Amino acid sequence: MTVPHACSRVGHLDKIGRAMRPQHRAPRRTPTHRTNWMIETITTAAFLELVSARRGHFLLESGHHGGLWLDLDPLFADPHRLEPFVAALTRALRPHGVTAVCGPLQGGAFLAQLVSHALDVEFWFTQRVMPAKPGGLYQARYVLPSAFIRRLGGQRVAVVDDVMSAGSALRGTYGELNAHGAQTVVAGALLVLGRVGADFFVRQGVAVEAVARDEYQLWMPASCPLCAAGVPLETPTASG
């Protein structure tokens, strides 16, 4: 954000005030200090401060049941606090030599645009299409706008999302890209929860990059302990 210049009178008074009071200069932040500060702030706890989390019993987009829900809508509201996470993911993706970054709407697409700009490569996004009668696991499809499809052939693509747990949105995006001739070489997320989503990409020979990781339990509906305990199931709208 550009800070407007103060008027000349305010500037003059500020100079007088500085001249009259002792000068206590803060130490200059060297590149090393900046790097250490970024490392300290890139933690799961720091990420969770940017979103809203609550415990309960939730039906995820993938069809799994989970006990933690993250409301990711506030994530991109404060770009300065998010910047260290985006920068870290950009650095992790750079060695993979991608020529495009693709993310599922909404949060994944916002992230893909930021990362693609930093890498100076193309930006694409996918949109979710749910079946009329959803049932079972991984029923959501993610489709590319037709304008992107002719650009896919031979491209090395990174698929990214803000958070990956079961990986429904990234799996759908991966399938759509491959169906149109793109080569997905890496999947990335600001936060990877658990192993379900990440393990899928590892089995496909796709690298996985995460800024932060944490444990996360997912259950098949038939073996969900929260169902067995009679905890009401909520169906929020988001990926998982």
Is 208 a domain residue? Answer: yes
H or E segment and range at residue 153: none
CATH number at residue 126: 3.40.50.2020
Q: How far is CA 134 from the centre of its chain?
A: 25
Whether residue 173 has pLDDT greater than 90: yes
Q: What is the pTM of this model?
A: 0.80
Structural domain range at position 90? 81-215
The two structure tokens encoding residue 192 = 């990877």
> Could you report the per-residue pLDDT of 20-39, keeping only the tens digit for each?
333 444 344 433 334 333 44
> Could you report the per-residue pLDDT of 76-103, keeping only the tens digit for each?
998 998 999 999 999 999 999 999 999 9
Q: Could you tell me which residues are beta bridge partners of residue 125?
A: 103
Q: How confident is the model at residue 44 (pLDDT cuts 50, 70, 90)?
A: confident
CA distance 210 to 83: 15
pLDDT for position 240: 59
- The number of folded domains in the chain is 1
Is 108 a domain residue? Answer: yes
Is 205 a domain residue? Answer: yes
Is 183 a domain residue? Answer: yes
